[in-house]
Amino acid sequence: MIFHKTNLASSYKKTVLDNGITIVSEAIDTVRSIAIGVWVKTGSRFEDLNENGMAHFLEHMMFKGTGKRSPLQIVQCLESLGGHLNAFTGKEQTCFFANSLDTYLKKSVEILADIVCNSVFPDKEILKERMVVLEEIKAIKDTPEEYIFDLFHEKLFPENPLGQPIIGKENIVDKFTRNAVLNFWHDYYSAPNIVIAAAGNLKHEQLIKHVMNYFTFNTSYVSTRQKLKVTAAQSTCYKINQPINQTHICMGGESFSYTSDERYPLLVLNAYLGGGMSSRLFQRLREKRGLVYSVYSFLDFYSDIGIFGVYAGTDSKQLNSVSELLYQELLRVTQKPLSDGILTKIKNQLKGNLVLGLEGTSRRMSRLAKNELYFGQYVSIDDLIYCIDRVTSEDIYRVANKIVQPEKFITVVFQSSN
């Protein structure tokens, strides 16, 4: 993607070290905190089907001891200073992050480097963590409004790692060994595969110095594994009986990648359809008819593909009515463009939500990393607003007719087995 309005902030800096680590930072001198993330270019999409859940499991194991810290010492290291240390795994990245006062930049970098570079993966901790993750999988399965999205992805991208649950499957996770963990860690946790992003009251030169001092990898190896090309399935409905009180519906299909120019009209369309309490779906299904408690549309963007879909939870007796209304609202956006008045309101809502969401250092850090990972460049908030402002009703109408095709959607329905 080429951004048509370029306004590189003087507070943004980027450095690529000789060993391949990329460092991006944004200095914000109006805060007294910092957020630092170590982004590894791997996630569940890079797993073989027979190792599903390994990226997430490895993320857990990074907190289970290093050459100089016990698991308890790892979590206490920043918490005792008023900071916070955590991690998450996605489909295409894994992130380890720290939030702290600005006086603890060096300490934050050091602890992140210790867990990413020096974890030892004790056998006893692997055995324990397998049980922990198995309980986490059970908890998700007991939460149908969350579990339905795992099944939706699986049906949309069958037999492809992109469709597999990030957390993994019980029969696979239960067989993870230390050798398997070490092999995955060796494949992906090397300097060229790392982006370090930081935002807050910091100096880029100090950040570089600390990263060079503490991030030492035993190898410069870069995995030869490639993510598999993915093709979305179409036109199938899966009805699954569960011992639950509410019926859950998730339907959707393929959309655009993170770097597509069509992403911005789609963001506006999503905000209009199901992006808040004033959205069409919320107003039509909940406020006017009282058929649902929760209803919304959603987007997922990946490097080469995306997802557009809708979700609703309702009483089983109202399933047909809710399904019919969802179809009506989806088809409606393909039949005529939005009016200029509605478009202006939706743009203002979307811009406000995006800008307000970027007030914190953690969100700014995350944006820095994702823009580097997907675009290889800085994207300012002004750039983002510019891309939204230039969206027209015709753009949205064109995008809607490309992707909003409910007759081709994959649909998953959880319904009561009682």
Tell me which residues are annotated as active site.
Answer: 59
Signed CA dihedral, 96, 102, 104, 110: sign only: positive
Element (H, E) at 348: helix 340-357
How far is the C-alpha of 281 from the C-alpha of 273, rounded, in Å? 6
- Asked if 18 and 216 count as a contact pair (C-beta separation under 8 A), the reply is no
Q: Output the CA torsion 376→379→384→385 (10° steps).
A: -160
Give the residues across from 242 on adjacent strands.
416
How far is the C-alpha of 111 from the C-alpha of 63, rounded, in Å? 11
How far is the C-alpha of 91 from the C-alpha of 257, rounded, in Å? 13
Identify each DSSP E strand in 194-291 by its residue range: 194-200, 236-242, 247-255
- Asked if 330 and 251 count as a contact pair (C-beta separation under 8 A), the reply is no
Angle at 168 between CA 164 and CA 171, to 5 degrees: 115
Write down the H helix ranges in 142-222: 144-156, 170-173, 178-188, 204-214
Other residues' Cβ atoms within 10 Å of the Cβ of residue 220: 11
Phi-psi bin for 2: left (phi > 0), alpha (psi -120 to 50), beta? beta
DSSP conformational letter for 41:
S
DSSP conformational letter for 304:
S
Instruction: Give the CA count within 13 Å in the CB-facing half-sphere of 209.
Output: 8
- Asked if 195 and 372 count as a contact pair (C-beta separation under 8 A), the reply is yes
How far is the C-alpha of 99 from the C-alpha of 82, rounded, in Å? 9
Structure tokens at 412: 């998953």
